[in-house]
Each structure stands twice: as structure tokens, then as C-alpha cells.
Amino acid sequence: MAKQEFKAESKRLLELMINSIYSQREVFLRELISNASDAMDKMYYRSLTDESLTFNKEDYYIKIIPNKEERTLKIIDTGIGMTKEELETNLGTIAKSGSFAFKNDTEIKDGFDIIGQFGVGFYAAFMVADKVTVISKSIDSEQAYQWESSGTDGFTITPSEKQQVGTEIILKIKENTEDDSFDQFLEEHRLQEIIKKYSDFIRYPIKMDITKKKPKDEDSDEYVDYVEEETINSMIPIWKKNKSELTEEDYINFYQEKRYGFDKPLKSMHVKVDGTIRYNAILFIPENAPFDYYSKEFEKGLELYSNGVLIMDKCADLLPDYFSFVKGLVDSEDLSLNISREMLQHNRQLKVIAKNITKKIKTQLLQLQRDDRENYVKFYEAFGRQLKFGVYNDFGANKETLQDLLMFYSSTEEKLVTLEEYVNRMPEDQKYIYYAAGESIDRIKKLPQTELVADKGYEILYFTEEVDEFAIKMLLKYKDKEFKSVSSGDLGLEEETTDSTDEKEKEENKELFKYMKDQLAGKVTDVRSSKRLKSHPVCLTADGEISLEMEKVLNTMPNNQQIKADKVLEINVNHEVFQALKDAFLNDKNKLNLYTNLLYNQALLIEGLPVNDPVEFTNDICKVMIS
């Protein structure tokens, strides 16, 4: 029989297809299995209108048979089959989808699961096969036919033998090349893996004979191979089940089966949406951050399924960066896919889903925060940093979404608290939300700057992470209350207006401070009498936007631009040390220079900033000891 040629355009298209549409060869199996599933769905729909047909689910399955000796891989289905004409049009014309036509002609819309639509999936077989043979017997034909093609040079159709209605596809698997292993597509375990990955939720069993070992006979150490047929796919996706049928245990098992993490999820969410875009989602909040979470290597994303068939491993567009820790999947029947089914045609659909999911995640987190604080704190310790980055990034575009999820260590509660809890506790006369930044809770507790605010009985939030102050600068306010660093110039406290020192004394002090400031030229921008110190003699604060903590952080950045805070040396005029300064100012300028340097260096140390010249500093201390 003469070979029929693919149409001219088809030839070029086929070459293009085979070589460039799919990024991974292994998807050929997904495509052939999807077609088999479609063919069985068509039988089912036929049985709904044709009374002479009964549909027994047990009769419908897909069988995969690899044969290493012959280098063939068979995919057999018990679906509706193809007539001679259908073989010719559906497989002979590229981009002709019998399934698409079927969908348009069929009334039934509900629970409609037919996957095919582009009429190119079948040709993915040529990515791994030199020759493809299709033997099919249609429900509408007594005679079976065989379609065969070695790729671009066309195809033949000849009568064939086949008893059962359905289709058998035989791939002659390519020989290995230097760069590519095709042998893998004949390996049982590899095939199992591919089926699990892409086709786990095909609703018909995908069967395969699996070689296993058993003892030769009882009490024998010798093992022999035997073969057992297994169903590879789990068929019913957990997300299509009713929530009421499922227990927390089921979700945890699913999380572990899917290898979303080695931990257990802290919270699982099962979302079913029946809006303009229908989708199901299973989402998890992990307990621990993956080891690479805060590195560039970490890739966020959810698995994306279209009707139970995996389209994308990690669809990044489904999650905002600030929720990048969420694991799980989305399955939708309303996605318009591109031809390779690796991408979507309209990002609009994804955007709608992503927006919805983001809202759900936030609601769940708030609920966890309210009802299960212990677990929320666990979550926050793992991922709080990401939320704070989220407040700071994109110029604060998401700060409102995230502010209620934030928590900081409280000086009075001695645990993490929310901003809402802080504000609700504020005494009426307190104007600001106070915070203090430092390396650790212990270090901050001892910071002289916190004294006065703490003495007023006000709660102080301790910022121990680098990102904290940056995030708060972006937030500016919470519920109309401004944030204020305990190191800032104006603390907004009552005491500040009632200064006990009289005018004359102030004038005198001014000259002393001016002298000290000149002495510390280039190191501090001012020397002042402090309003925040009680028992400590000195501290450093910062004027302007850059705080001392921010200076530290910015100077650890790779493109460090030597950004400096405007440092102010604050002196406690009620401290005995101040008397010593005054005496020295009047009687011994050398001594005053020495004291000034000492106090400045002490203030640096308290802040956790490096002393410029440690040797000089220790020499200075010795000088004081022997004077």
C-alpha cells in the first residue's frame, strides 16, 4: 500500500513539534496516557445515550508494557478506538483534535474531563520513538486497522487483527545517543516514576507488570523473579474528595507522599472554588524552613494541574514572594493552556487564582495566630523573616496585607506579641509604639537608651533581626500610631518639656559640649545632654533616617557604600561622671580630652559597634587608673 504523505505544512510542523515544543521528552507518556483516558471517557459518554451499551468501570484500564529485547513500549487502552477514517484524520493531520470536536459536539458539560484539545500530543511519541504503530478497533467498526509512521515521511494505514475494541500503540524506542538515554523509557521503575509524576490522577487504572523477587521456596536464601500486575496511579486525587471524608492524617500523608518536605505541615488547607474560574487547591504551611529557604537557590511555586494532569512542577505565579513558603497544588479545569501544556495562555486566570489563594493563606495564618498561638510562633520563627521582607519589598505595596501577621518580642510580656496587642494595651498618654534595635534580646535589655521609656512603664518592642527596622520604616504607622525608636531624638515623652537644669547652667554646659564635639570631629555630629538616660552616663543615638542598627546592616551588604548614621553622643548630666567632665573642662583640658575619648568609645561598645582604635582605648583606661 502506498504511503500517504503528511500535508506539506504538516511535515514542517511535525519536525518543529518533535524538536521544540516540549522541554522534557518524558511527557510523551503523559500525552499518550491522556489520549487513552479520553478514549475511555468517550465510551462512557456514548453509553449515556446509547442504550445497547453498558459501561462497567472495571473493563476500562490502560496497560503499559515495556520490552527491552524488542526495544518497544506498548500503551494499550480499552477506549472507544478509531475507525480507518479517524486514524487518517486524527493522526494524519497535525493539530487536528478529535477530542476537541467531540467536546464541542457533546452536550454533557458537567464533570467533563476530556483532556485533549490541540491535536499535537500524539506526536510527542516521535521524541522517543523511531517508529510508531497504532492498532485500533473502533466501537463503530468490525474491522481493526493499523496506522504506522516513522515520522516526517508520512504514514500507512492497513487492515489489522484486533479482537477487543480499543487502541494499542507500539513505540519503537530510539537507540541511545551520546547525549541522550532512551533506554530509560524501557525501565520499569523509570516508567513508574513518570506515570506517578504526570498521570497519577488519571481516573482509570494504569497497569503495569512489575518484576519482583521472592524466596525460591520456604526457608530458602535464594530469590527468584516473578511478575505481578500493579496499578501505578492513585486515580482519585485527594483534592477531588470531599473535605468531610478526609482526616488531618490524610493531608499529612499526602504532604509526605508528595515530598513537600521532611517535616510535618503545621497547617493544611483544602480549597474548593466554584466561581468564574473553578479550581481545587491543597495548600500546606510547613513547620520548618527548608535549608535553602533564605537563599537564592530556593524556588517558590505550587504544582499546577489541569484536570488531574500535571502541567507545571513549580508554578511561581501562584504565590506572592512573601508567602513563598507555602507548598501544595492547584488543579483547575478552566485553564487555557498553550500547545505544549507547559504554560498558560492567559495569565489572567492564574492571577485570579493567585489572588484568591493569597487571601486564603492570610486568613488561615491569622486564624492560627488567634487560636493556636504556640504553632503560630513556631511558624513565625521559621518564616517571620520572609513576612518582614514582604513588608519592606516592592516599596511597601503589601504592608497592609502583612502587618497583622507580624510579631515582635515585647519588653513587658517577654514573648512575641502582635502589633494589635501592643496598641490595645497602650496607656492613653502613650503617643508612640516604641522599639529598640540590637543584636539580641539580652543586649537590648541592657541598652541605656531604653531606660526612660521602660521607666514610664511603656512596652518596648525588641528588634533583633536585620530586616526589622527596615520593615518598620516602611510601615511607618500601625493603627495611626507611629513607630519610634528609643534612640531617636524626640521620644515624645512628657518629661522632656520639664527640664530641671536652669538657663545659666545650660549655657555653661553648651560650651563644654561644644568643646567635646570639636574633640570628636568626624566621629559624631553632636554632643548633647540626654533626656533618656537615668543611671547610665552615656549613650549613642542617631539623628536622621539612618539608625545605628541600620548602619551596621548596610555595612555588611556586599556593595557596602560606607553609609554612616549621624551619631550623637548623649551625656547624662545627672550622673557623677558629668561633674568630672565639668571639673576637667575648667581645670585640665588634657584630662577632658581623655574622658571624652573614653566616653565615646564606651558608647560605641554599648551599641555593639567597633572601637576605632582598641589599643589607644586600653591605654586611655590605664591612664585613668594611674592618675
Query: How many chain residues are in contact with ligand ADP, going by CB under 6 A?
Result: 23
**Shortest Å distance, C-beta 78 to ligand ADP:** 10
**Shortest Å distance, C-beta 94 to ligand ADP:** 8
Residue 66, φ and ψ in degrees, nearest 5: -85, 150
Q: Which of 22, 44, 122, 595 binds ligand ADP (CB under 6 A)?
A: 122
CB nearer to ligand ADP: pick between 156 and 375:
156
- How many angstroms separate the CA atoms of 337 and 260, rounded? 25
**Shortest Å distance, C-beta 123 to ligand ADP:** 6
Contact flag: residue 120 with ligand ADP (CB under 6 A) = yes
326 contacts: CB under 8 Å, gap ≥ 6: 283, 284, 285, 302, 319, 361
Contact flag: residue 165 with ligand ADP (CB under 6 A) = no
When CB distances are held under 5 to 8 angstroms depending on the partner's kind, the choice from ligand ADP, Mg ion, none that residue 391 binds is none
Paired sense of beta strands 155-160 and 223-231, if any: unpaired
Q: Is 274 helix (H, G, I), strand (E, B) or coil?
A: strand
Q: Which of 117, 160, 192, 593 binds ligand ADP (CB under 6 A)?
A: 117
**Helix residue spans in 461-608 (DSSP H):** 466-475, 503-519, 548-554, 576-587, 589-607
Residue 214, φ and ψ in degrees, nearest 5: -145, 160
Exposure on the CB side of residue 538, measured as CA atoms within 13 A? 23
DSSP class of residue 337?
B
**Shortest Å distance, C-beta 135 to ligand ADP:** 11
CB nearer to ligand ADP: pick between 132 and 603:
132
DSSP for 77-137, please give it.
Answer: E-S----HHHIIIIIHSTT--HHHHHHHH----TT------SS-GGGGGGGTEEEEEEEEE
Task: Confirm if 119 and 96 have CB atoms less than 8 A apart.
Answer: yes
Exposure on the CB side of residue 510, measured as CA atoms within 13 A? 8
Binding mask 340-379 for ligand ADP (x = CB under 6 A): ----------------------------------------
Q: Which of 92, 121, 237, 286 binds ligand ADP (CB under 6 A)?
A: 121
Kindly report the CA angle at 218 between 214 and 220, in degrees rounded to 5?
75
**Shortest Å distance, C-beta 108 to Mg ion:** 19
- Selected range binding ligand ADP among 90-98, 146-154, 390-398, 566-574, rule: CB under 6 A: 90-98
When CB distances are held under 5 to 8 angstroms depending on the partner's kind, the choice from Mg ion, ligand ADP, none that residue 594 binds is none
CA distances from 501 to 25, 103, 320, 329 (A): 83, 89, 55, 67
Q: Which of 90, 386, 418, 601 binds ligand ADP (CB under 6 A)?
A: 90
Contact flag: residue 77 with ligand ADP (CB under 6 A) = yes
2 contacts: CB under 8 Å, gap ≥ 6: 156
CB nearer to ligand ADP: pick between 33 and 186:
33
| Grid coordinates given for 87 | 486514524
SS3 content of the chain, % helix, strand, coil (to 5): 40, 20, 35
| Grid coordinates given for 88 | 487518517
CB nearer to ligand ADP: pick between 85 and 620:
85
When CB distances are held under 5 to 8 angstroms depending on the partner's kind, the choice from Mg ion, ligand ADP, none that residue 90 binds is ligand ADP
Q: Dihedral sign for Cα 91, 97, 98, 99, please.
A: positive
Task: Confirm if 77 and 36 have CB atoms less than 8 A apart.
Answer: yes
| DSSP H or E stretch at residue 420 | helix 419-425
When CB distances are held under 5 to 8 angstroms depending on the partner's kind, the choice from ligand ADP, Mg ion, none that residue 293 binds is none
When CB distances are held under 5 to 8 angstroms depending on the partner's kind, the choice from Mg ion, ligand ADP, none that residue 308 binds is none
- Selected range binding ligand ADP among 95-103, 145-153, 495-503, 563-571, rule: CB under 6 A: 95-103
Q: Which of 118, 389, 409, 617 binds ligand ADP (CB under 6 A)?
A: 118
When CB distances are held under 5 to 8 angstroms depending on the partner's kind, the choice from ligand ADP, Mg ion, none that residue 515 binds is none
Q: Which of 97, 149, 529, 541 binds ligand ADP (CB under 6 A)?
A: 97
Q: What residue ranges bind Mg ion (CB under 5 A)? A: 35, 116, 121
- How many angstroms separate the CA atoms of 456 and 452, rounded? 6
- How many angstroms separate the CA atoms of 325 and 301, rounded? 9
- Selected range binding ligand ADP among 94-102, 151-159, 494-502, 538-546, rule: CB under 6 A: 94-102
CA nearest neighbour of 128 among 89, 91, 169: 169
- Selected range binding ligand ADP among 89-97, 265-273, 515-523, 612-620, rule: CB under 6 A: 89-97
Taking CB under 6 A as the criterion, which residues in 35-74 touch ligand ADP? Answer: 35-36, 39
Q: Which of 43, 61, 64, 116 binds ligand ADP (CB under 6 A)?
A: 116
When CB distances are held under 5 to 8 angstroms depending on the partner's kind, the choice from Mg ion, ligand ADP, none that residue 478 binds is none
Which residues lie near ligand ADP (CB under 6 A)?
31, 35-36, 39, 77, 79-82, 90-91, 97-100, 116-122, 167
